[in-house]
Amino acid sequence: MDLASMKVAVDVQPLLGSRTGVGYYTSGLLRALDRFDDGNEYELIAFRFFSRPFEPPVPFDGRRFRYRVVRFLPGRAFFWLLFHRLLPPVDLLVGRRDWYLFPNYISWPLSRSKAAVVVYDLGFLHHPQYVDEKTLSLLTQGASRSIQRADLIITISESTRREIEQAYPDAKAPIVVAPPGVDPELFAPPASDRIAAVRARYGLPERFVLFVGTIEPRKNLVGLLDGYAGLPADLRHTTGLVLVGIKGWKDDEIQQRIAELREEGSPVVMPGYVEEADLPALYGAADAFILPSFYEGFGMTVIEAMACGTPVIAADNSALPEAAGGAALLVDAHRPDQITEALLRVLTDDVLAADLRAKGLEHAGRFRWETSARAILGALAAAR
């Protein structure tokens, strides 16, 4: 199939506002395509309310990529129509293309053109208790509709691919696995001056354990806080816990546990949302990075931390062993005592920490956005 003949429209709503994993994945793929794909044409579709200004979230030179802003409905009306499945096919607003790529599989009821959807995980099926009722309904309906109707399904791990096949056996679309990558020019061991600047900007302790992700129950932050609390008092009082990320849902217990630890004198720091440019220095400043989630579709932050030379601890469930690749300490997410033990080992054993750094750097080098972008591009051409 000739790769130089496709016109691809991409829904870039995940790039607008504070980015989470979906936004970073979308940005990484587009930047990679911009670097190597000289044949296809990409139209980046941004839906905005009539009076809201638009600034391109990722700059492109306009050679093969161009933004198209569609003035549509205010957010509340849009989500009401989406929730009630009343939105029209997107190409009624934009026009037909060879492909529509939806990085967020619930953002639109697909199109009359061929549609490719990215499914990051099926956590709402495995852990519905961690999602509010309205969001759970939206995810359940949106996933079923998108997976059943898509012409191509893109997912980020072999683990999630298997889950899609098991949960939706009637889906006919081919599935391509395209894991997230890391930009080696951004995610690399940072210079000491960058670390010092970021440490001062966010008021970070001299030593700390780092978590990056949405502040929500699925990330097992109560388990992390309990595991951290199990460290010897002298180590805990000299080694902070830094929780980076936007506020999620059902976080009351998390916030209560943080308050209790602070009252005991433990330095728990919550910088909130952090721009991508500051993340490498945050990773590099940390004595350890931990992702103790009950479930992940991949675990992008595991690879980012490894690429910055940080020892990693991760849970042993879902796709996390696949992401860790033997270069991290794995723990049972339901065992805070195992979290305590892993933290204690990494924080007190310099030989182990150095070994994890070396293995992590090697492992992270295998994940490149261009590899994933080429896999997706080839799948689009084959399924056209």
Domains and CATH numbers, the chain: 3-181+368-382 (3.40.50.2000), 192-364 (3.40.50.2000)
Write down the pLDDT at residue 51. 61
pLDDT digits (tens, 9 = 90+) for 331-356: 999 999 999 999 999 999 999 999 99
Quick count: other Cβ atoms within 10 Å of Cβ 276?
Answer: 14
Looking at per-residue pLDDT, the higher value among 151 and 145 belongs to: 151
Write down the pLDDT at residue 2. 46
pLDDT digits (tens, 9 = 90+) for 234-257: 999 999 999 999 888 888 999 999
Q: What residue has token string 């059943």?
A: 148
Q: Decide: pTM greater than 0.75.
A: yes
Report the chain's mean pLDDT, rounded to a whole number.
Answer: 91
* Per-residue CA distances from 13 to 47, 95, 106, 224, 250 (Å): 7, 18, 11, 32, 25
pLDDT above 90 (res 138): no
Percent helix, strand and coil across the chain, each to the nearest 5: 45, 15, 35
pLDDT above 70 (res 136): yes
Write down the pLDDT at residue 142. 82
Retrieve residue 337's tokens.
Answer: 């005592």
Of 164, 167, 160, 169, whose CA–CA distance to 295 is shortest?
160
Q: Are 31 and 58 in contact (CB under 8 A)?
A: yes
Of 338, 301, 305, whose CA–CA distance to 319 is shortest?
301
* Residue 101, H or E segment: strand 99-102
CA dihedral 156, 158, 164, 169 (to 10 degrees): 140
Give me the phi and psi of 292, to 5 degrees please.
Answer: -95, 30
Of 140, 144, 43, whose CA–CA distance to 93 is shortest?
43
> What average pLDDT does the segment 55-59 reach?
82
**Can you tell me whether residue 339 is helix, strand or coil?**
helix
Half-sphere CA count of 214, side-chain side, radius 13 A: 17
* Residue 81, H or E segment: helix 75-83
Strands 208-212 and 7-11: unpaired
Q: How confident is the model at residue 59 (pLDDT cuts 50, 70, 90)?
A: confident
pLDDT above 70 (res 319): yes
pLDDT above 70 (res 109): no
Write down the pLDDT at residue 3. 45
Give me the phi and psi of 81, to 5 degrees please.
Answer: -65, -40
Q: Are 73 and 81 in contact (CB under 8 A)?
A: yes
Helices 300-307 & 21-36, crossing angle to 10 degrees?
Answer: 60
Write down the pLDDT at residue 295. 96
Write down the pLDDT at residue 86. 77
Q: How far is it, in rounded angstroms, from Cα 289 to Cα 309?
A: 10
The DSSP call for residue 202 is H
Strand partners, 101: 10, 116
Q: How confident is the model at residue 38 (pLDDT cuts 50, 70, 90)?
A: confident
